[in-house]
C-alpha cells in the first residue's frame, strides 16, 4: 500500500547547501528533514506543551538514504508522514523530491515522547495520537 504524505514543504536550495562536488551536501538534507518535522509537529502544539509541562518529544534516531543528487539552483519538496505510532515513540517517513518530481532521498526519524522533569520516556497522550490520526486521515494500532 502506498503511504500518504499529508505534509508537504517546498525548500529553495541555497548556494550554501552545496559541497565541493557542486551538489547538495548531506548536512543540508538533514536540515531539510528537520524543517519538515517541525512543520508537521506545529499543529500538535508540542512546543507549547513543552513550555508548560517540560514534556514533549526528542529525536531518537534519523536515517537518510541518498538516491540522487540535488543541485543549485533549484527547489526540493519534502513530503512527510507518520510511519508508525507505538507506546512512547512514533516514526516519521520523509521523501525528498527534486524539481522534476523524482525521489532523490528517503528519510526516517524516530521520536520519543519524553518527560524532561523525570528524564524518562512516557506514553504518548491520547490527545496527540488523535491529532496525528486526524492529520494522517487514518488510525494507528498501538
**pLDDT-based confidence at residue 140 (cuts at 50, 70, 90):** confident
Residue 142 maps to a domain: no
Number of structural domains in the chain: 1
All cell numbers assigned to 128: 496527540
Write down the pLDDT at residue 91.
Answer: 98
pLDDT reading at 73 higher than 80:
yes
Residue 141 maps to a domain: no
pLDDT reading at 30 higher than 70:
yes
Measure the CA–CA gap between 74 and 72, rounded to whole angstroms.
5
Question: Which has more pLDDT, 3 or 43?
Answer: 43
| H helix or E strand, kind and range, residue 24 | none
Residue 119 maps to a domain: yes
All cell numbers assigned to 37: 518535522
**pLDDT-based confidence at residue 141 (cuts at 50, 70, 90):** confident
Residue 78 maps to a domain: yes
- How many CB atoms are closer than 10 A to CB 111? 23
Write down the pLDDT at residue 32.
Answer: 98
Nearest 10 degrees: Cα torsion 47, 50, 53, 59? 140
C-alpha to C-alpha distances, 115 to 51, 58, 118, 142, nearest whole angstrom: 12, 10, 6, 20
Residue 26 maps to a domain: yes
* Neighbouring-strand partners of residue 13: 74
Residue 1 maps to a domain: no
pTM across the whole model: 0.93
pLDDT reading at 1 higher than 70:
no
Angle at 50 (CA atoms; ends 52, 120), nearest 5 degrees: 115
pLDDT reading at 58 higher than 80:
yes
The domain that holds 127 is classified in CATH as: 3.10.129.10
Instruction: Quote the domain boundaries for residue 106.
Output: 7-136
For the segment 73-78, the average pLDDT, to the nearest whole number, is 96
Amino acid at each position: 500500500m502506498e503511504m500518504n504524505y499529508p505534509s508537504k514543504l517546498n525548500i529553495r536550495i541555497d548556494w550554501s547547501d552545496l559541497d565541493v562536488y557542486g551538489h547538495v551536501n548531506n548536512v543540508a538534507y538533514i536540515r531539510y528533514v528537520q524543517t519538515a518535522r517541525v512543520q508537521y509537529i506545529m499543529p500538535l502544539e508540542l512546543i507549547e506543551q513543552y513550555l508548560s509541562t517540560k514534556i514533549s518529544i526528542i529525536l531518537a534516531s534519523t536515517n537518510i538514504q541518498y538516491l540522487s543528487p540535488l543541485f543549485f539552483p533549484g527547489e526540493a519538496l519534502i513530503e512527510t508522514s507518520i510511519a508508525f505510532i507505538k507506546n512512547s515513540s512514533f516514526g516519521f517517513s520523509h521523501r525528498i523530491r527534486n524539481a522534476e518530481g523524482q525521489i532523490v532521498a528517503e528519510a526516517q526519524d524516530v521520536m520519543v515522547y519524553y518527560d524532561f522533569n523525570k528524564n524518562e520516556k512516557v506514553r504518548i497522550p491520547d490527545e496527540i495520537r488523535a491529532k496525528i490520526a486526524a492529520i494522517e486521515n487514518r488510525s494507528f494500532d498501538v
